[in-house]
Chains A and B, each alone.
Chain A
Amino acid sequence: MTDAPGNSPYSLRLSGVTKAFGSIPVIQDVDLDIRAGERHAVIGPNGAGKSTLFNLISGLFPLSGGDIRLHGRSIAGLSPHRINRLGLARSFQISNIFHRMSVFENLRIGVLARHGIRFGLFRPVDRMRRINDETDAILARVGLTARAHDLAGDLTYSEQRALEIGMTLTTGADVILLDEPTAGMSREETARAIDLIRTVSEGKTLLMVEHDMSVVFSLCDRVSVLVYGNILATDTPAAISANRAVQEAYLGEEADI
C-alpha cells in the first residue's frame, strides 16, 4: 500500500526491516505499523533488539534490508539529522546529553534547530527573545526551571532523564521515540515520569521501549513484543498480557513483570 506522503494514517511503517551485525541477525523481517497519534510500547527480554530497532528507525544504523516510512515517506538510508528534520526525535537508553553545558543550553540547541537557525553567526543568541522564551517554556514543561543554569552533568539521574525527554520536544518532532525512559527510577520518580510522558506526548505519536508492564498499562494504547529480533505479537496491553505465546516466550520467565 502506498500512501501519499503527508496524509498517511500511520506515522511509522516498518516493512521487512532486517539488521545483521556481520553474520549475526539482530532484527529479522520486522513489520510494524504505528498509527498517527497512538502511544505504542515495545517490550521484550534483554538483547531482543529493541534499541537496535530504535537505532534503525532514527538513522544511526543503516538497514540491512526492508524499508521504513515516516509519514508515508521512505527514510531508509537517510542520516539522523535528515530524519529529525522530517519530524522524528528520540531519547537514548543511556543518558545522551551535553554534560558540560547548562540545562538551558541543552534545550536551546534543539529549539534553534527547529527555527532553522543552525549556522547563525551574526547575532548573539542571548538576544533571541523567541528562542529563549520557547526554551523556557520547555524547561517548565519538564520541570527543570530551577535547574536551568546548572551543568547538565550535575543533574540527578531522573532529572537527566527528564532533560532527555525535553530535548526530544525541542525540535518540534511529532513522532517521539523514548528508549527505557523510566529504567532505574524509584516508584515516585516513575510515577512522575509517566505523567510527564503522557502530557508531552499529547497530540504526538509515541513509540517507547519499556520493561515495566505497569507503565505500559497506564500509558500505552498498543504493545509489540520483540523476541530475538522478531515481533511475536502486537495488541492492546490487556490482550498482550493474556497472550499465551507471549507469556511463554517472555512474561513467564520474568515473574516480576
Chain B
Amino acid sequence: MRTIIPAAILLIALLAVPPFLGLGWQNALVNLLIASLFALAFNLLSGQAGLLSFGHAAYFGVGAFATLHLMIAVEDGLPFPTPLLPLAGAGAGLAVGLVAGVFATKRSGVYFALVTLAIAELFHSLAPHLQGWFGGESGISAMRMPWGGFVFGSLLEVYYLTLGWVVLSILVLWAYTRTPFGRLTLALRDNEQRVRFLGYDAHAAKVVVFTISAMFSGVAGALLAISNETANYALFSAHVSAQVVLHTFVGGATIFLGPVIGAVVFTLFAYIVSDLTRSWLFYQGLIFVLVMLYAPIGIGGVIRHHLRHWRSIDWSRLAAPYALAGVGGAMIAGGVVFLTECVAILFGEEYAVAMRDAGDTLPPFEMAGMSWDPLGPASWLPPILLLSIGGLCLHRARDRIKPLWDAIEGGAAKEGTR
C-alpha cells in the first residue's frame, strides 16, 4: 500500500498533465521516460548482477536502427501496428545482446567492462561505413505511420506511446526481481563462485541477464527512434554509454528505482540548464563526482536511508542543520557557477577578440547582465565570499548532523540485536 498509492498518483499525473504542457516540456518528458527505461535496463546488469558495462550504447543503438528499418518497411506497405514497433528494438537488442553477452561474460570486473566498451566501439566505428544497415554518416530516417485511428503525428501521441511501453517495461523488470532467476541475479553479484557450487551454470546465467538487459535497452532505443524518426551512428558513441552509467550511479544502483531518479534528474537538468550555459556537461560531471565522493549510494540510497529510519528521525532537531546545509550548498554552488562562467568567458573566443581590440589590457566582460572588471577585486569578492561562507555553513551543519544520525543509527542497531 505504501508504494501503490504514490505510484498511482505519479501515474495519474503522468497521464493527465502533459496535454497542458508546451512542446518543449512534452519532448523533455519523452526523453526522460526513455532515459529512465535505459538506465533501469542497464542497472539490471550493473547493479543487480554486478556486471558494469561501459558499452550499453550498442544495444540502445541497435534497437533504434532496427525499429527505423521496420518503420521504413511499414512506409513501404508492411501492415504492422505502429504501437508495436518497439518489438523490433526488443528483438534486435536481444539478438545482439545474446551474441555480445556470450563473449563479454566470459570475463568479469575490469575485463568485462573493457569487452563491452570494445563491442560498442566496434559498432561506432563500423556504422558510418555500413550504408545499408546504418545509413552511413547521415544515418537513416523514417516516418511514423498512422494506425488504427491514431495518426501518431503529434508529440503528445508519441508521449503516450512511450509512457505505455516504459511503464510496462518497468513492471516487467520489477516482476523479474521477484522470480527465482531474479534472486539468482543478486546472488551472482554477491558471490559468483558459490553459485557454481550450488549447481548453477554461472556463465549461462550471466548470458541470460546480459541478454535481458540488452533487450530492454533495445526497447528504449526503439522509443527514441519512434520519437525522433531518425538515428545515426552517434547513438553508438561512448557518450551515450557513459550517460547511462552516470544516471544509474547518481540515482543509486542498489535501489530498484534509483536509476530512474538519476535519469529524471539529469534529463531535467539538461533540459533546463543546457539553454542557459554551454558548461552544462561540466556541471553534470561535477555532480557525478560529488555524489560518488560524498553519497556513493546515490540519491535513491539517501532517500531510502531516510525512509528506513523515518520513525526515529526527530525533524525538529534535524531541520535546522539540514536547512543550514542547504544554504551552504547553494552558496558553494553559486560560487562554483560564478567561477566556471567567468573562466568560460575569459578563455572564450569572443573575449580573445575583445582583448585584441582593446590593445594589451583586459577589458571588462559581461555576465548575468552586469559588467565585471577582470582585474578588480570587487569582481572576485562575490565568489570568494560565497565559497568561504558556504564552506563554513556546510562544516557547521555536518558537525550538528553527524551526532544526530549516529544516535538514530545507534538506536536502530540496538533494536536489531534485541
Interface residues of A (CB under 8 A from B): 58, 60, 79-81, 84-85, 89-90, 96-101, 105, 108-110, 112-114, 117-126, 128, 131, 167, 170-171
Contact = CB atoms under 8 A, between A and B. Distances in A.
B191 A97 contact: yes
B205 A119 contact: yes
Interface string B197-224: 1111110110010000000000000000
B180 A89 contact: no
A171 B194 contact: no
B179 A109 contact: no
A105 to B, nearest CB: 6
Given A118-B199, A118-B200, A109 B184 contact: yes
Interface of B: 175-176, 178-184, 186-187, 190-191, 193-202, 204-205, 208
22 contacts: A79-B196, A81-B201, A84-B197, A90-B197, A96-B194, A98-B186, A100-B186, A105-B187, A109-B200, A112-B183, A112-B184, A118-B181, A119-B205, A121-B180, A121-B181, A123-B179, A123-B180, A124-B178, A125-B178, A128-B180, A171-B198, A171-B199
A98 B179 contact: no
Given A118-B184, A119-B208, A113 B200 contact: yes
B205 A96 contact: no
A171 B184 CA distance: 15
Contacts of B199: 81, 84-85, 110, 113-114, 118, 171
B196 A98 contact: no
Contacts of B182: 121, 125
**Most chain A CB inside 10 Å of its own CB: which residue of B201, B202, B204, B208:** B201
Contact of B179 (A89, A97, A114, A125): A125
Nearest to B197: A80
Contact of B183 (A96, A105, A170): A105
Contacts of B204: 119
A99 B191 contact: yes
Contact of B198 (A120, A121, A167): A167
* 7 A-B pairs with least C-beta separation: A120-B180, A113-B199, A84-B199, A98-B190, A124-B178, A80-B196, A110-B198
B171 to A, nearest CB: 13
A67 to B, nearest CB: 21
Contacts of A112: 180, 183-184
A34 B183 CA distance: 36
Contacts of B198: 81, 84, 89, 109-110, 113, 167, 170-171
A127 to B, nearest CB: 9
